[in-house]
Amino acid sequence: MRNNFRVVIPRKVDSFLTLVGNILAKHTADGVNSLLTPLNMADMQAKYTTATTRHAQAGQFDRDKETAFEQRNAALGIMHTQQSYTPNTVLYYVTSIRDHLLGVFKGTEQLLGDWTFTVNLGGRGTSRVVVPRNAERLIGLAKGILAKHEADEEETLLGSFDMAAFANLTEEAETQHELAQKLSRDKESANQVRNKALGYGTGQKRGSAGTLLTYVVAVREVLVGNHKGTEQLLGDWGFEVNTSLPTNPTPDPITAMVQGIVTNASTSVPIGGVRLVFATSAGDTELTTDPAGNYAGEVELEAPETVMVEIAHVGFLPLSEAHSLTPDLVHVINFGITPVPIPD
């Protein structure tokens, strides 16, 4: 009976880089006896160094970004453990100032717009003064209040508040917000360089010359050719070898990179913590947006296909959209989800 086999090339970045590292280590250990001397192993090593360095940088940028977001949110007072009445936060000052000004301008609440509050006027003389929980908008509101306070000088209506502390908290929140955005851009840049070395970059396809993916496929072919009948020896190079497979084995899973942002369809404000499910023939892949509304990840496919993307988030209508994904490419897909209508 014929012994069928499959030599797996993983597509998850960490697993793939581990395989490349094992191949290079085995090649170096074998020295002049290495079966891979016909290949440009020096270039493979250089691409591996680039990919691993950038991958580690991207991971560090991501961790630093999350720390910056946490520090920003703590200063703002919008962490899940905080309330609008948590003292020494931007939200505490903003809501206190709002309530103070509502008392001063009873019946003329629209004048709070001078302090950059959004005032929604309703029927029968009712009004609602909005305090946003979105970080960027809350920082903007706080800066507007501070600018009005400074412009009014001694005539300010906010003399009873510790405006210096309020200003310091706002500055800290804005500094951490800008740092997090920079780290997000740095992470994306590092991932782009990494992906180009891997062969996962935008516009690259399986077989693009000079990429780690192309080198690993070539390594697999060379080793299979040298180990006919003993393919399990490819395990010495770090490959996963599945033997005694059916005559028509399931093809190796392949992946597409997806990234984008999820926003409120009504306000265009990014939404964090949104769960996205990409349903493909290879199974479901779940991704979650970061506090800035961004998501990124790999979706397993078995071939180019149209996949359904399902989004369900508290306070918003469910969304289901079909998108075409192609293996080995990066797809930028943005989503806008609609808030649940508020009954009149």
**Is residue 314 a part of any domain in this protein?**
yes
101: pLDDT strictly greater than 90:
yes
Q: Over the stretch 214-266, which tens digit does the pLDDT of each residue have?
A: 999 999 999 999 999 899 999 999 999 987 655 555 555 578 889 999 999 88
100 pLDDT band (50/70/90 cuts)? very high
**Is residue 234 a part of any domain in this protein?**
no
Report the predicted TM-score, pTM, of the whole model to 2 decimal places: 0.70
Average pLDDT of the residues in 93-106: 96
Q: Over the stretch 296-327, which tens digit does the pLDDT of each residue have?
A: 988 888 778 888 899 988 888 988 888 888 88
332: pLDDT strictly greater than 70:
yes
Distance CA 297, CA 330 (A): 10
- Confidence (pLDDT) at 54: 95
Distance CA 240, CA 237 (A): 9
C-alpha dihedral over 191, 192, 197, 198, to 10 degrees? 60
193: pLDDT strictly greater than 90:
yes
**Is residue 306 a part of any domain in this protein?**
yes
More confident residue, 128 or 157: 157
**What are residue 259's phi and psi, to 5 degrees?**
-160, 160
Q: Is 85 exposed, middle or buried (0-12, 13-18, 19+ CB in 10 A)?
A: exposed
Domain containing 322: what range?
253-337
342: pLDDT strictly greater than 60:
yes
Contact 132, 143 (CB under 8 A): no
- Confidence (pLDDT) at 2: 45
Q: Over the stretch 68-87, which tens digit does the pLDDT of each residue have?
A: 999 999 999 998 888 888 99
**Is residue 271 a part of any domain in this protein?**
yes
More confident residue, 246 or 140: 140
97: pLDDT strictly greater than 80:
yes
Number of domains forming the structure of the chain: 1
**What are residue 325's phi and psi, to 5 degrees?**
-120, 140
- Confidence (pLDDT) at 250: 52
**Is residue 135 a part of any domain in this protein?**
no
Distances (CA, A) of 135 to 78, 158, 167, 301: 8, 23, 16, 36
- Confidence (pLDDT) at 94: 97
Q: Over the stretch 200-214, which tens digit does the pLDDT of each residue have?
A: 776 666 677 899 989
53: pLDDT strictly greater than 70:
yes
Q: Which tokens hold the place of 33?
A: 């006896």
Proportion of the chain above pLDDT 90, given as a percent: 59
- Confidence (pLDDT) at 95: 96
Distance CA 198, CA 183 (A): 22
**Is residue 333 a part of any domain in this protein?**
yes
- Confidence (pLDDT) at 202: 67
- Confidence (pLDDT) at 90: 97
Lowest mean pLDDT among 18-22, 141-145, 180-184: 180-184
More confident residue, 145 or 246: 145
- Confidence (pLDDT) at 3: 56
- Confidence (pLDDT) at 86: 92
The length of the chain in residues reads: 344
More confident residue, 252 or 90: 90
Proportion of the chain above pLDDT 70, given as a percent: 93
Residue 295: which CATH number?
2.60.40.1120
Average pLDDT of the residues in 82-94: 93
Categorise residue 238: left if φ over 0, alpha if ψ from -120 to 50, beta otherwise: left
More confident residue, 79 or 52: 52
**Is residue 282 a part of any domain in this protein?**
yes
Mean pLDDT of the chain: 89
Pairing state of beta strands 335-337 and 254-264? parallel
**Is residue 88 a part of any domain in this protein?**
no
Q: Over the stretch 3-42, which tens digit does the pLDDT of each residue have?
A: 577 888 887 888 999 999 999 999 999 999 999 999 999 9
